[in-house]
């Protein structure tokens, strides 16, 4: 029994108790009878566990660069940050069948502490394999794939993307699109190199908003032509968002995601050519326009559906992370920021504590909507009777600085070092089990208790 909390869901905000039985929510009410175990939530916020629908875990190395987190460390870190379900990517090895890649990721995920689903990243260089193998995987339950409009080996042409959209449409799944025009980005990098302007401070010039805006427009158009649900992932600025608004006004069901790194004002960290800048390099780049707050307005108005982390944990030190290629120059730094554990506290701080978002909208963006879109609702992202008892009890109070030393991932830095937050998960429950207790600093070591949750077909 979770007693006397301020219970916030995507719809409600009330004081009461939550009764849990057999790992599920049994009852919500007031003055409920005593439980076998009582958790005092007096004066505390209680929300559904977070659902992080975009994170990179244990993916194959990119040249010398290697992600620091496997499913053990990533799930531990997620739990301590209030996330009880994540949906990482299956990323196929060269020559591997798509089914073998899926089976491989099911094995890799076995030590997870929290529940999980999967999306699949599709690569450009094996169109025949996609053509022949993807329909069977979709039939077997895969609900979402990610395609890229940039990156060597990943960048697809429009026809290939349309073909994939048609396959995914057959199961009413979602095509996630990394929307940056790779041709334009390549051209910008070559030109900057030729001019000797290849320090890290030129990174924003390699992919300005126009490069994202054009790709978003194209992705939306391809989705319209194939009548497919498209998710524009990691929307970084107002220009991409304008395209999403435009397509919705025309009646299309375009979906969109952003991430904390695009909502906070990180762009000033890109002004130096020193290695330190590498800690803030992700694709698309963080934007100067974040200061204007347009993406926040998009979250309030519903132009954006969800906030994911895009956790991509390359270490800063060592020769297998941000410094893998040895030089602090354009094109030599693998893009990606860690953020699984900080996603919810940062969004709470910058959204709820500042008054930009209601607590309900915070829950909707970070738990309910991602669960709905990827077919995990109402088991996940909800506190309704029958749902999995995935619950976060929050501690709120004076600002506490984020310190990497206090986090639980396997990375060696956080881009948010020193950022003050006034809310932090005091206790995280997954299917009724306490997996994180901040009072004792204890994280469950029951690795392997996490379960694969198959995505249901279509939207609820």
Which residues from 182-221 bind ligand DUC, rule CB under 6 A?
none
**Per-residue x/- marks for ligand DUC, 54-93, CB under 6 A?**
--x-------------------------------------
338 binds ligand DUC (CB under 6 A): no
Q: How many residues does the chain have?
A: 460
Contacting range for Zn ion; rule: CB under 5 A; set: 127-135, 175-183, 214-222, 382-390: 175-183
Closer to ligand DUC at the Cβ: 180 or 364? 180
Shortest spacing between CB 162 and ligand DUC, in angstroms: 21
Q: How many whole angstroms separate alpha carbon 236 and alpha carbon 257?
A: 9
**Per-residue x/- marks for Zn ion, 284-313, CB under 5 A?**
--------------------------x---
Q: How many whole angstroms separate alpha carbon 403 and alpha carbon 419?
A: 8
Which residues from 205-234 bind Zn ion, rule CB under 5 A?
none
3-state secondary structure of 395: strand
Using alpha carbons, select from 102, 154, 158 the residue that is nearest to residue 126. Answer: 154
Q: How many whole angstroms separate alpha carbon 94 and alpha carbon 225?
A: 31
What secondary structure does DSSP assign to 106-170, as a single string?
Answer: HHHTTT-SSEE--EEE--TT-HHHHHHHHHHHHHTT--EEEEESSSTTTB--HHHHHHHHHHHHT
236 binds ligand DUC (CB under 6 A): no
Q: How many whole angstroms separate alpha carbon 234 and alpha carbon 263?
A: 11
Residue 311, binding choice from Zn ion, ligand DUC, none, Cβ under 5 to 8 Å by partner class: none
Shortest Cβ contact with Zn ion: which residue? 178
Residue 336, binding choice from ligand DUC, Zn ion, none, Cβ under 5 to 8 Å by partner class: ligand DUC
3-state secondary structure of 105: helix
Q: What kind and span of H or E run contains 279? A: none
Shortest spacing between CB 340 and Zn ion, in angstroms: 12
Shortest spacing between CB 411 and Zn ion, in angstroms: 15
Closer to Zn ion at the Cβ: 121 or 278? 121
The number of CA neighbours under 13 Å toward the Cβ of 117 is 26
121 binds ligand DUC (CB under 6 A): no
Q: How many residues bind ligand DUC (CB under 6 A)?
A: 8
Q: What kind and span of H or E run contains 21? A: strand 13-21
Contacting range for Zn ion; rule: CB under 5 A; set: 59-67, 173-181, 223-231, 372-380: 173-181
What are the b/e assignments for 11-50, b being 16+ CB within 10 Å?
eeeeebbbbbeeebbbebeeebeebeeebebeebbbbbbb
347 binds ligand DUC (CB under 6 A): no
3-state secondary structure of 359: helix
**164: burial class by Cβ within 10 Å (0-12, 13-18, 19+)?**
buried
Shortest spacing between CB 3 and ligand DUC, in angstroms: 41
Closer to Zn ion at the Cβ: 258 or 444? 258
Binding ligand DUC (rule: CB under 6 A), the pick from 77, 283, 414, 428 is 283
Contacting range for Zn ion; rule: CB under 5 A; set: 178-186, 250-258, 264-272, 287-295: 178-186
CB-based contact 239:181 (threshold 8 Å): no
Q: How many whole angstroms separate alpha carbon 75 and alpha carbon 86?
A: 8
Using alpha carbons, select from 8, 77, 147 the residue that is nearest to residue 447. Answer: 77
Closer to ligand DUC at the Cβ: 282 or 429? 282
323 binds ligand DUC (CB under 6 A): no
Shortest spacing between CB 281 and ligand DUC, in angstroms: 8
Which residues from 41-60 bind ligand DUC, rule CB under 6 A?
56
Using alpha carbons, select from 215, 239, 363 the residue that is nearest to residue 294. Answer: 239
Shortest spacing between CB 282 and ligand DUC, in angstroms: 3
User: CB neighbours (10 Å) of residue 197?
Assistant: 12
Binding ligand DUC (rule: CB under 6 A), the pick from 310, 388, 390, 409 is 310
Binding ligand DUC (rule: CB under 6 A), the pick from 66, 119, 178, 287 is 178
Closer to ligand DUC at the Cβ: 239 or 257? 257
What residues line the site for Zn ion (CB under 5 A)? 178, 310
In the complex, the residues that contact ligand DUC under the rule CB under 6 A are 56, 178, 282-283, 310, 312, 335-336
């Amino acid at each position: 029994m979770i007693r006397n909390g301020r219970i916030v869901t995507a719809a409600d905000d009330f004081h009461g108790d939550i009764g849990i039985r057999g790992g599920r929510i049994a009852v919500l009410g007031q003055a409920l009878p005593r439980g076998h175990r009582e958790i005092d939530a007096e004066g505390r916020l209680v929300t559904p566990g977070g659902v992080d629908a975009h994170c990179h875990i244990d993916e194959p190395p990119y040249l010398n660069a290697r992600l620091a987190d496997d499913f053990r460390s990533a799930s531990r870190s997620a739990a301590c940050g209030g996330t009880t379900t994540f949906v990482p990517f299956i990323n196929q090895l060269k020559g591997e069948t798509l089914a073998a890649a899926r089976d491989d990721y099911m094995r890799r995920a076995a030590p997870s502490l929290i529940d999980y689903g999967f999306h699949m990243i599709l690569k450009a260089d094996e169109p025949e394999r996609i053509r022949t193998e993807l329909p069977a995987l979709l039939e077997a339950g895969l609900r979402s794939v990610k395609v890229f409009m940039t990156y060597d080996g990943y960048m697809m042409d429009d026809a290939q993307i349309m073909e994939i959209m048609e396959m995914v449409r057959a199961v009413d799944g979602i095509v996630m699109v990394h929307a940056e025009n790779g041709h334009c980005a390549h051209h910008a990098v070559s030109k900057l190199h030729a001019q000797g302007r290849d320090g890290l401070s030129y990174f924003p010039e390699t992919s300005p908003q126009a490069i994202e805006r054009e790709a978003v427009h194209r992705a939306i158009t391809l989705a319209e032509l194939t009548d497919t649900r498209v998710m524009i992932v990691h929307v970084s600025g107002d220009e991409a968002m304008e395209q999403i608004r435009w397509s919705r006004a025309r009646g299309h069901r375009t979906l969109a995601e952003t991430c904390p790194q695009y909502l906070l004002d990180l762009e000033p960290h890109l002004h130096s050519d020193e290695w330190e800048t590498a800690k803030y390099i992700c694709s698309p780049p963080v934007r100067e326009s974040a200061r204007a707050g347009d993406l926040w307005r998009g979250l309030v108005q519903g132009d954006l559906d969800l906030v994911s982390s895009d956790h991509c944990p390359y270490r800063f030190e060592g020769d297998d992370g941000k410094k893998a290629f040895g030089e602090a120059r354009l094109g030599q730094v693998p893009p990606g920021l860690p953020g699984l554990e900080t996603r919810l506290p940062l969004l709470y701080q910058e959204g709820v504590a500042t008054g930009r978002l209601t607590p309900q909208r915070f829950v909707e963006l970070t738990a309910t909507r991602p669960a709905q879109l990827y077919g995990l609702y109402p088991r996940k992202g909800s506190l309704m009777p029958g749902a999995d008892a995935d619950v976060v009890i929050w501690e709120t109070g004076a600002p506490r600085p984020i310190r990497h030393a206090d986090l639980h991932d396997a990375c060696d830095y956080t881009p948010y070092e020193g950022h003050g937050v006034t809310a932090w998960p005091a206790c995280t429950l997954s299917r009724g089990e306490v997996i994180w207790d901040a009072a004792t600093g204890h994280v469950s070591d029951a690795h392997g208790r996490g379960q694969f949750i198959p995505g249901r077909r279509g939207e609820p």
